[in-house]
Amino acid sequence: MAGAVTVSAMRVAVIGGGPGGLYAAALLKRLDPARDITVWERNAPDDTFGFGVVLSDETLGGIEHADPIVYEALRDEFVRWDDIDIVHRNTRHTSGGHGFAALGRRRLLEILHERCRSLGVELHFRTQAPDVARLSESYDLVVAADGVHSTTREAYAQVFRPRVATHRCRYIWLAADFPFEAFRFEIAETEHGVMQLHGYPYAADASTVIVEMREEVWEAAGFAEADVEESVERCAKIFADALGGRALRSNKSAWTAFRTVVNERWSHQNVVLLGDAAHTAHFSIGSGTKLAVEDALALAACLEEQPSLDAALTAYEEERRPVVASTQRAARASLEWFENLGLYLDQPARQFAFNLLTRSRRVTHDNLRLRDARFTESVEREFGCLPGTPPMFTPFRLRGLTLRNRVVVSPMDMYSAVDGVPGDFHLVHLGARALGGAGLVMTEMVCVSPEGRITPGCAGLYTSRQGDSWRRITDFVHAQAPGAAIGVQLGHSGRKGSTKLMWEGIDEPLEEGNWPLVAASPLPYRPENQTPSELTQTQMADVREQFTSAARCAAHCGFDLLELHCAHGYLLSGFLSPLTNRRTDAYGGSLKNRLRFPLEVFDAVRAVWPEDRPMTVRISATDWADGGTTADDAVTIARAFAAHGADAIDVSTGQVVAEEQPEYGRSYQTPYADRIRNETGIPVIAVGAISSWDDVNSLILAGRTDLCALARPHLYDPHWTLHAASEQGYTGAGVSWPGPYRAGSRRPQTGRTDAPKPRLTLGS
């Protein structure tokens, strides 16, 4: 029936009478009064879980355009405020300019009930919806808005293919009979562990209060055995200061763990998922009701715009999926921030507040400066920024090297060397980026032997001719880009060697001219790749000598910093990951044993590398694959290298096994750097889809990283750092335009696009 029915004349069944289902019903009926629409809700009309609902101005704008009557009713009910209060260790910091609107969930439902009835939607309360298969046969469209525990989703699980992840905190929805003055976050450090309160007003005399804590804290505090009444009383005592000694109340409240719902598909024939049935986003970014309402708006619009139901449901999913995925990434970042709250407790007070505000990466340094310049400037002062100095242009010291700013040109394989010799291309490539203002420019992975190359085009440092060519490049950087440092990354390809140039077929084996490979274990990267030989201890000694020989040469070449490449599945990384190290000797098995050879190489290199020059290590903090390196392992690995003298850890992820499943997204690798830095105190370099100077400022100022490495932005714009300074109006010591380039330090004028608007518009 799904493809045959005319979209404009439908019988519609809606399962679930929450805001999303009700609003979808109202919109569909308003757009076509001929539609026969029925809503089933198993609870009573005034039953609701939770208390207040927060909606954004963007969502309200969509409601205003789609149904002014609902918008007017909502507008009259909203409580609005601008501030966020963050209270930690008896200190409150307030940030303004945020713009919130909230109302009671029960009142929201009443407004939607009234609107549905006025339009002629049939509402059934205290009634379980008929079986979805029966509804699918009897109705033209079935909208499944039956929540996070959707029975519809489970009935068609083989089609929707849901993935449900349960997270590590327990939380409970409560309310207080007074209005908070702001959105309030309060941290309580108890004998059992850290607890947090999320509170906001939703009426002139009431506020939502959510109490949250890690599962182990919840158990240690005895909440697992406490009934709801006892839990409510204890929460009120723990957060007595925030509540002014007032009581809390519950409404069908229960401790629960948040579940993130993701579905591979959102529709099946004429059944479509909406709201929490299709996706969930953690309450800490306040998007659950927002997403459901926006789903309803998009579904109604697609049904109006498309010629058939099939086309409409496809368009609905195509429109909403990227928006939801982006929201879920932000929600996941926020959720994990609160799960790991204990890492940040010792941060300076204002930095802690800034970190909390920017936790989801949706609020950034520049955005927050627009909202509340005074608060942002106070955070910058506490951090140590001179007046008018963005965080990215503050210096950072590693041993005897002081970097003028926090920007690193990330190592990027160019595959353009001949016999391992870097040529004019490398001089121009690295020289241009040094002239472009970055504090540190890194070479690509420089291989320590011919057999350690990835491809025939990889650069090396195992002959005097190669050394002379690298010296030419470092001399240019030091002479022509004063203040820029240049570092070398040393590595060995391991099992990922003897492959084609990237643009000829990344990771594909050479058709001829292959060389033998060695690795921790005799496992090919992919079935079609060459199987490496397992390194013997004699060969390990040879490899150590190759690294030390290359390090001596790198010191002679004038490199300011040396990085040991222990990531991305290359030789040393292959020892670290349990997926690529199957050895049964002293170099395999436990993580301690898997660390043994990489640490031996590190020690050998550190022994010959000049004492005053820093040495860093790049690691893959996760393999993005079951059974591989975990975030916990990454912390242990970082601690081990730091104990042996590493000055910073360059935190990347993945590329270890071909079957990896990365969770891509903006700054998607930075949480691993963040955890290592704040759990261990070791300086870190964050990398991975950091694309804007605003991201760099945000990450640095929040204390999630010390340096930011960017790759693709520097391919797009060699002068990325200079342009970042210009766009922020910064002219201090953290960056300087080369003399010949100073005339270009201001953005060129462009053609005019802001022509004056007509003085008078006449109606037709």
Residues taking part in catalysis: 570
Q: Which residues contact 277 (CB under 8 A, 6 or more apart)?
A: 16, 144, 145, 146, 147, 148, 150, 152, 153, 261
Please say whether the beta carbons of 738 and 439 come within 8 A: no
Q: Could you tell me the end-to-end alpha-carbon distance of the chain, in angstroms, rounded to an integer?
A: 45
DSSP readout, 148-206?
TT-HHHHHTHHHH-EEEEEEEEEEEEEEESS--SSEEEEEEEETTEEEEEEEEEEETTE
Instruction: Give the β-pairing of 141-144 and 271-273.
Output: parallel
Element (H, E) at 710: strand 707-710
Separation of alpha carbons 321 and 272, rounded Å: 13
Element (H, E) at 649: strand 648-652
Residue 488, phi then psi, degrees to nearest 5: -115, 140
Cα distances (Å, whole numbers) of residue 657 to 165, 307, 394, 493, 570: 24, 45, 37, 14, 10
Please say whether the beta carbons of 181 and 85 come within 8 A: yes
Which runs of E-coded beta strand occur in 218-296?
256-263, 267-268, 271-273
What six digits make up the tokens of 132? 């979805």
What six digits make up the tokens of 663? 């969770």
The CA dihedral of 721, 722, 723, 725, to the nearest 10 degrees, is 90
**What residues form DSSP beta bridges with 486?**
441
Instruction: Give the β-pairing of 193-203 and 141-144.
Output: unpaired
DSSP state of 441: E
- The per-residue b/e assignment along 129-145, b for 16 or more CB within 10 angstroms, e otherwise, is bbebeebbeebbbbbbb
**What residues form DSSP beta bridges with 488?**
562
What six digits make up the tokens of 640? 């081990």
* Burial degree of 503 (CB within 10 A; 0-12, 13-18, 19+): exposed
Residue bearing tokens 């929040």: 702
Amino acid identity for residue 158 in this structure: Q
What six digits make up the tokens of 10? 């439908």
**What residues form DSSP beta bridges with 194?**
189
Separation of alpha carbons 95 and 85, rounded Å: 7
Neighbours of 4 (CB within 10 A): 10
Q: Degrees (nearest 5) of the Cα angle 347, 353, 357?
A: 130
**What residues form DSSP beta bridges with 183?**
84
Separation of alpha carbons 51 and 56, rounded Å: 17
What six digits make up the tokens of 35? 């539609």
What six digits make up the tokens of 684? 């870190």
* Burial degree of 674 (CB within 10 A; 0-12, 13-18, 19+): buried
Helices (H) and strands (E) in the chain, counts: 26, 28
Separation of alpha carbons 360 and 374, rounded Å: 22
